[in-house]
Amino acid sequence: MSNPRFTPLQAVGNRMKARGLSLDDVRVGKKVLLTWTDKWGDLMAEALGATPAPPMMFGSTYWVRTADNDQGWVTVAYAPVGAAGTTMLMEDLIACGAESFVGVGASGGLQSDHPVGDVLIPNAVQVIDEGTSGHYPNPGQTPPVGDQAMISEMTSLVQKHGGRSASGDWWTTDGFYREMTDDISRHAEAGILGVDMETSAMYRVAEHRGVSVCNILVASDELWADWNYGIDFSEFKTGVGAMLAAAIEWARG
C-alpha cells in the first residue's frame, strides 16, 4: 500500500519553523469561512472580530484570521482560486483542527430561473472537470456531496437575510475560459444548477477527512444564452449581502 510522502501537518509545521514559529502558534477555529474574494473575507473577519493568525501557506498572500466566540475559535481564510490551491489550504486547516467549512464565493448560473444574484448551493457535483478530486479515494465511485444538514441550514439563513437561494446538482471545472457552449447546453439540459472551480474537490476532501462542508456561491453571471456578467448589477450586490450575512450568522452559531 502506498502512502503520501508527507502530511499536511508536517508541511504546516515546516512553514511555521521557517518563520521562527511553531505549531503552537497556529490559531485555527473548528468553524472556517473560506473565500476567494479578499474584500468579502475582510468584511466577514471584521464582523466576527477575527485578527491575523500565522498564514498556513508558504507565502503571505493567502491569509488566515481567527476570532473567539462562545463555541470556540472561528476562522476566516482567504484561499487561492481553483481546486488545487483551495484544497491545499483546506487540508492544512483540517490538520490544525478545522471541522466544518462554508465556502463563500461566486458561480456561473446554468438555469434561467436562477439569475444573477441568486445564491446557489451545490449539492452533488455530477460533472467533475478538475484534476484534484481524482487523487482522493472514492471506492464507491459516487459524486462528491455537500453536508446535507449544512445545505439545509445555509439555505434557510440566506433566505432569512433576504436572498434567493437554490440547491442542486453541480459542475466544477479547471478551465475558467473553457466553459464551452456545447458543454453548457448539455449540462443545463441535464439540470445542472451552476459551475465553479473548487466545489467538487472540497466536497471530496471533506469526505476523505471526515469533516463537513457546504459552499454558498452567488451567481455572478448567466451562461444559458449570451453571456451576462452581472457583478455590477444591484441583484448581485443584494445576493452578496445575503450570502455574507448568512455566513457570519453560521460562524457565530
Collapsed DSSP state (helix, strand, coil) of residue 105? strand
* Spatial contact of 28 and 67, defined as CB atoms under 8 Å apart: no
Check: CB of residue 29 under 8 Å from CB of residue 49: no
DSSP run (H or E) holding 85 = helix 83-95
Structure-block grid coordinates of residue 50:
477575527
pTM of the prediction? 0.96
Cα–Cα distance, 120 to 143 (Å, whole number): 18
In this predicted structure, what is the pLDDT of residue 59? 82
Is residue 216 within 8 Å of 154, Cβ to Cβ?
A: yes
Q: What pLDDT was estimated at residue 56? A: 85
CA distance 116 to 161: 17
Q: How far apart are CA 97 and CA 81, in angstroms?
A: 22
Q: How do the pLDDT tens digits run along the chain, 253 residues long?
A: 789 999 999 999 999 999 999 999 999 999 999 999 999 999 999 999 999 999 888 888 999 999 986 667 999 999 999 999 999 999 999 999 999 999 999 999 999 999 999 999 999 999 999 999 999 999 899 999 999 999 999 999 999 999 999 999 999 999 999 999 999 999 999 999 999 999 999 999 999 999 999 999 999 999 999 999 999 999 999 999 999 999 999 999 8
pLDDT score for 71: 60
In a 3-state reduction of DSSP, which class is residue 232?
A: coil
14-73 pLDDT, tens digit each: 999 999 999 999 999 999 999 999 999 999 999 999 999 998 888 889 999 999 866 679
Mean pLDDT of the chain: 96
Contact 204, 136 (CB under 8 A): yes
Model pLDDT, residue 144: 98
For each of the domains in the chain, give its residue range(s) and CATH number, in order of start.
8-252 (3.40.50.1580)
